[in-house]
């Protein structure tokens, strides 16, 4: 991915280029319109001045003299006598033109009937310029050029007077004005780009500093990023701090989990080794004790694998509406043999259909751990009752046993991993309720623990109400 600085610089350059182009175009169009207004005013004003200088009956000599002053190099003015012929005046030997643009401004006179009377040089090079027909402004084409013309009729002499300006003169003025406005922008553009680059670099400096702070840390440094940052990246800093906190908690949980697992597995391994040594020494009863230790170790490993899968998943599995009853019946049938061996009574009461929004596999693991815990901690001849029901619209599953229960001061900690509260002689890993708690959380349900009277434990899983 391209750098933010380059992206911003390119984007701002593009915006400046577009804005500059729009500004130049707008300046050109506005100047073109305003210049047309100004030159039109000048044409009409000079036409009135010329008309004011004419006598009521101008003589041929006066017009010939006027034609002499209208001569331009290569473009002699022409005087048209009454007969229709025209006489060209002699060009002046020097000072014929005071400005090079004079050839673009021309004056012409017509008789009242529209016949030409006196034409400035550029308007009679290829015959007389088209005669006016009404007072006002018009565009006219002559000799390959386009002319802006103002015409009026003198009230005293009756002559038509036209002043014309070549379109190229108007365009040249507009272009020069536009170019004069554009040149400062072009000259300032490198300075502007350099300034933008510096501003962007300075504005992105806090992000670079924050990145360097993170990169400069080793794997063991999980302290928060507390350096002051601009408001615009406070959200990024808070997100990083939140991630660091979550990572710290996860690593701490993993370290604690590893330590507890190592401790929990060390005990049965040491016991198995002692029993096997005794068995080698000839004590046959130690083989049965070693087998019991292997069973406990196997259960610890299985539950550890279950917890690892839950931790790594970290996801909410898709929930569908399922009936819990068939799952409970199938698992109780699997566990019935274990209860029968210890002369325990395993029963199911309540509803024969209970719909919840959950994952069927998760419900199976959850229920197996609850009943397995109840079977382990209930003495021989005891009772385990499973109840399915609905409370205030919330479906629930309840497992009751007649075991020793949980001391009240440890009740809030029983979902912690490797936490055991009952007789330590009972084989177990202290992970059953931890697994149940993880699964209940994933299903957005509620886990309730309470002691029964006179003894025993009641565990209830309460799911959210199912909308019909």
Does the pLDDT value for residue 255 go beyond 80? no
Which pTM value belongs to this model? 0.47
Q: What is the mean pLDDT of residues 339-348?
A: 90
Q: Residue 458: its pLDDT value, please?
A: 92
Q: Residue 82: its pLDDT value, please?
A: 66
Q: Residue 420: its pLDDT value, please?
A: 59
Q: Residue 102: its pLDDT value, please?
A: 67
Pinpoint the residues of the chain covered by CATH 1.10.287.130: 235-313
Pinpoint the residues of the chain covered by CATH 3.30.565.10: 320-462
Range list of H helices, 231-284: 234-280
Q: Residue 105: its pLDDT value, please?
A: 85
Q: Residue 164: its pLDDT value, please?
A: 93
Q: Residue 399: its pLDDT value, please?
A: 94
pLDDT in tens, 219-250: 777 778 877 877 777 788 788 888 888 888 77
CA separation, residue 139 to residues 29, 40, 127, 164, 316 (Å): 19, 12, 18, 9, 79
Does the pLDDT value for residue 443 go beyond 80? yes
pLDDT band at 383 (very low <50, low <70, confident <90, very high): very high
Residue 183 dihedral angles phi and psi, to the nearest 5°: -60, -45
Pinpoint the residues of the chain covered by CATH 3.30.450: 6-85+101-176
pLDDT in tens, 292-319: 777 767 766 766 666 666 655 555 566 7
Q: What is the mean pLDDT of residues 156-183?
A: 88
Residue 397 dihedral angles phi and psi, to the nearest 5°: -125, 130
CA separation, residue 307 to residues 98, 147, 363, 397 (Å): 102, 93, 15, 22
Q: Residue 94: its pLDDT value, please?
A: 46
Q: Which CATH architecture has domain 235-313?
A: Orthogonal Bundle (1.10)
Q: Residue 93: its pLDDT value, please?
A: 43
Return the minimum-mean-pLDDT range out of 13-22, 31-40, 64-73, 438-447.
64-73
DSSP 416: S
pLDDT band at 328 (very low <50, low <70, confident <90, very high): very high
Q: Which of 264 and 364 is assigned the larger pLDDT?
A: 364
Radius of gyration for the alpha carbons in the chain, expressed in angstroms and rounded: 52
pLDDT in tens, 45-95: 999 988 888 877 777 777 777 777 777 777 778 777 765 555 555 454 444
Q: Is the dihedral of CA 105, 110, 115, 120 positive or negative?
A: negative
Q: Which of 99 and 28 is assigned the larger pLDDT?
A: 28
- Of the chain, the percentage scoring pLDDT greater than 70 comes to 83
Q: Mean pLDDT, the chain, as a whole number?
A: 81
Q: Which of 354 and 248 is assigned the larger pLDDT?
A: 354
CATH class of 320-462: alpha beta
Q: Which of 279 and 344 is assigned the larger pLDDT?
A: 344
Q: Options 3.30.2310, 3.40.50, 1.10.3470, 3.30.450; which CATH number does 6-85+101-176 get?
A: 3.30.450
């Amino acid at each position: 991915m391209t750098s933010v600085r380059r992206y911003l610089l390119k984007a701002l350059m593009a915006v400046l280029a577009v804005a500059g182009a729009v500004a130049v175009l707008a300046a050109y169009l506005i100047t073109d319109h305003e210049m047309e207004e100004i030159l039109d005013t000048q044409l009409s004003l000079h036409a009135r001045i010329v008309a004011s200088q004419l006598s009521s009956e101008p003589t041929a000599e006066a017009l010939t003299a006027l034609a002499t002053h209208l001569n331009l190099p290569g473009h002699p003015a022409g005087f048209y006598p009454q007969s229709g012929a025209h006489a060209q005046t002699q060009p002046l030997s020097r000072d014929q033109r005071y400005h090079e643009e004079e050839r673009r401004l021309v004056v012409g006179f017509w008789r009242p009937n529209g016949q030409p009377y006196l034409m400035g040089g550029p308007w009679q090079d290829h015959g007389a310029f088209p005669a006016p027909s009404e007072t006002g402004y018009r565009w006219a084409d002559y000799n390959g050029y386009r002319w802006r013309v103002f015409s009026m009729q003198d009230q005293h002499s009756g002559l038509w007077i036209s002043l014309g300006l070549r379109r190229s003169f108007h365009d040249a003025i507009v272009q020069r004005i536009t170019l004069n406005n554009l040149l400062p922008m072009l000259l300032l553009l490198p300075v502007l780009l350099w300034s933008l680059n510096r501003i962007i670099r300075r504005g992105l400096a806090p992000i670079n500093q924050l990145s360097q702070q993170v990169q400069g840390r080793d794997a063991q440094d999980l302290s928060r990023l507390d350096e002051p940052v601009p408001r615009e990246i406070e959200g990024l800093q808070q997100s990083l701090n939140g991630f660091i906190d979550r990572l710290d908690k996860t690593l701490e949980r993993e370290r604690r989990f590893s330590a507890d697992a190592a401790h929990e597995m060390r005990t049965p391994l040491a016991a198995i080794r002692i029993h096997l040594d005794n068995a080698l020494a000839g004590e046959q009863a130690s083989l049965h004790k070693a087998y019991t230790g292997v069973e406990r170790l196997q259960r610890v490993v299985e539950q550890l694998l279950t917890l690892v899968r839950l931790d790594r998943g970290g996801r909410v599995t898709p929930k569908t509406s399922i009936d819990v009853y068939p799952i409970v019946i199938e698992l109780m049938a699997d566990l019935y043999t274990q209860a029968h061996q210890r002369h325990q009574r395993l029963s199911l009461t309540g509803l024969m259909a209970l719909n919840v929004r959950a994952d069927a596999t998760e419900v199976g693991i959850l229920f197996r751990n609850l009943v397995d815990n109840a079977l382990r901690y209930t003495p021989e001849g005891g009772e385990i009752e499973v109840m399915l029901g609905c409370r205030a619209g919330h479906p629930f599953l309840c497992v009751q046993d007649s075991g020793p229960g949980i001391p009240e001061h440890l009740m809030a900690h029983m979902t912690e991993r490797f936490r055991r509260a009952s007789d330590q002689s009972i084989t177990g890993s202290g992970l059953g309720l931890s697994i149940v708690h993880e699964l209940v959380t994933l299903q957005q349900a509620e886990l309730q623990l309470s002691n029964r009277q006179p003894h025993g434990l009641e565990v209830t899983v309460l799911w959210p109400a199912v909308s019909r």
